[in-house]
Amino acid sequence: MRWLKTFAIGAVSASLVACATSPTGRMQLTMMPDDQLDQMGAQSFSQYQQELPTAGGATQAYVQCVTDAIVAALPPGSPQYDWQVRVFKDDSANAFALPGGYVGVHTGLLDIAENQDQLASVIGHEVGHVLARHANERMSTQNATNIGLSVAASAAGLQGAQAEMASAALGMGAQYGILLPFSRAHESEADLIGLELMADAGFNPQGSVELWRNMNAEGGSKPPVWMSTHPSGDQRITNLEDEMNAVMPRYQQAQQAGRQPNCQR
């Protein structure tokens, strides 16, 4: 078990390099320069626009309206981005936000997100990933894991078939024991941040639950939760419902303060 101890020491050493705290107070490993992530976000967004056609007109205006309301509700200290929004003509129910302030929504999502509140739950979630620096954390964790695996393989002193088997076991253990659960933690955290953002922007947080019920109704084959990078739809609904008592007063306060979005499809 010497290689397991070496791997653990390597992982702990890497975690001491650059610790940060997420908006929910969770400790993070962030080893990448933020400006580098912002540049990568800009490059990815540009490439995405080259590969997929965009939708304009009323569809673009609708998504822009919801995004603008979310961005206006960002808490003090949030990154000062000039947020750019594009709607891509694609049938998949997908959306994303990238470091640097880029939001993309697929037209397929608008078939499932039936109103502005449901769309706001998705955009708030994606913006939450950016606020929590999840891309930085994900890349940093991947790098630290790769370093740990390399150190462990060298320390094991195995050769040939034994080395290949040990490497495969280490890789599988890292995938299911470290990387996938970490991603599920990101998704749950982004759900919470997004819920608070949409409430502060004046969107009804109940729309998040309605959205995931719509998602569940779509069906389709899904991997077991422990093998997935996302919590199950049922888990998300339960988690969101658990937060309603906390976020509904924020929504009511936003409404009373005049934050009453009226984004028309």
> Rounded to whole angstroms, how far apart are CA atoms 34 and 92?
30
Burial profile 175-193: b = 16 or more Cβ within 10 angstroms, e = fewer: eeebebebbbebbbbbbbb
Of 209, 195, 192, the C-alpha closest to 248 is: 195
Under a CB-based contact definition with an 8 Å cutoff, are residues 177 and 170 in contact?
no
The DSSP line for 73-92 is: TPPTT------EEEEE--SS
> Rounded to whole angstroms, how far apart are CA atoms 66 and 204?
12
Known catalytic residue: 137? no
Of the residues 51, 126, 164, 218, which is catalytic? 126
> The tokens of 160 are what?
């040939």
Catalytic residues: 126
